[in-house]
Chain A
Amino acid sequence: MNRERSKTLILSVLVIMSIILIQQLWFPSPVDIFKIGTGASKDSHMTVIEGRKNVISPKTIVVSFGAGDRKKNYYTILSSNIDSVWNRCKTILGDYFSEEPEIIPVGYDTYVQANISKSIELEFGDNMSAVLISSVFDSSDNKIVKNIKGIKKILIPAFNRGIIYIVGDSKDDIYEIRRYNHEEDTALVDLIDKLEDTEFIKYHPVSSLFDEVNENYTIIPINYTLAAKQIFVESAVDVKDETALRERAKKFFSKNFDFVKTIKETSGAIVYIYGYGEKSVRINSEGILEYKEEIGNISSTNILASLDAAIDFVCENGGFPEGTYLKHVEAITDGQNKGYRFSFGYRIEGFPVEFNRGKTEHPLKVEVYGNKVKTYYSLVRRAMNMQGVDSEQKILYFPGIIEKNIRHLELQYSDSKGQPGGEMRDEEKILQILKDIEEVGLVYFDTLERQRIQLLRPCWMVKIKNNIYYFDGYTGELVDGFMLN
Chain B
Amino acid sequence: MAKRLIIGVFIFLALGMFNMPCYANNTVNRPSDEIRRVETGGYFFEIIEPERSIITTDKNALVSFRASRDTDICIEVYHNSSIEKDKEKYILLYDPIDITVGALQRGWASVDLKLGLNKIQFMIKYKNGSEDSIERIINVMDAKEIKQLLQDVVNKPTLSRWQR
Contact = CB atoms under 8 A, between A and B. Distances in A.
A72 B62 contact: yes
Given A404-B102, A427-B105, A430-B103, A74 B64 contact: no
A406 B105 CA distance: 13
A426 interface: yes
A222 B103 contact: no
Given A208-B62, A209-B64, A202 B110 contact: yes
B103 A403 contact: yes
Interface in A371-403: 397, 399-400, 402-403
Interface in A211-259: 222-225
A72 B103 contact: no
Contact of B58 (A67, A222, A406): A67
Interface in A396-437: 397, 399-400, 402-404, 406, 426-427, 430-431
B99 A397 contact: yes
Nearest to A430: B104
Contacts of B90: none
A65 B108 CA distance: 19
Contacts of A52: none
A403 B102 contact: yes
Contacts of A399: 102, 104, 107-108
7 contacts: A72-B62, A74-B110, A208-B62, A209-B64, A225-B97, A399-B107, A427-B104
Interface residues of A, number: 24
B132 interface: no
Interface in B87-124: 95, 97-100, 102-105, 107-110
Interface string A71-83: 1101000000000
Contacts of A402: 104
Given A72-B62, A74-B60, A204-B108, A224 B103 contact: no
A406 to B, nearest CB: 6
Interface of A: 65, 67, 71-72, 74, 202, 204, 208-209, 222-225, 397, 399-400, 402-404, 406, 426-427, 430-431
Given A67-B58, A74-B60, A225-B97, A400 B110 contact: no
Given A204-B110, A426-B104, 18 more contacts: A65-B60, A74-B60, A202-B110, A204-B62, A204-B108, A222-B62, A224-B109, A397-B99, A399-B102, A400-B100, A400-B102, A403-B102, A403-B103, A403-B104, A404-B102, A406-B103, A427-B103, A430-B103
A71 B51 CA distance: 14
Contacts of B107: 399
Which 5 pairs, one residue from A and one from B, show the smallest C-beta to C-beta distance? A403-B102, A426-B103, A202-B110, A403-B103, A222-B108
Given A67-B58, A72-B58, A72-B62, A224 B104 contact: no
B101 to A, nearest CB: 9
A67 B97 CA distance: 23
Nearest to B97: A224
A259 to B, nearest CB: 64
A152 to B, nearest CB: 28
A74 B62 contact: yes
Nearest to A65: B60
A305 to B, nearest CB: 48
B145 to A, nearest CB: 18
Nearest to A68: B58
Contacts of A403: 102-104
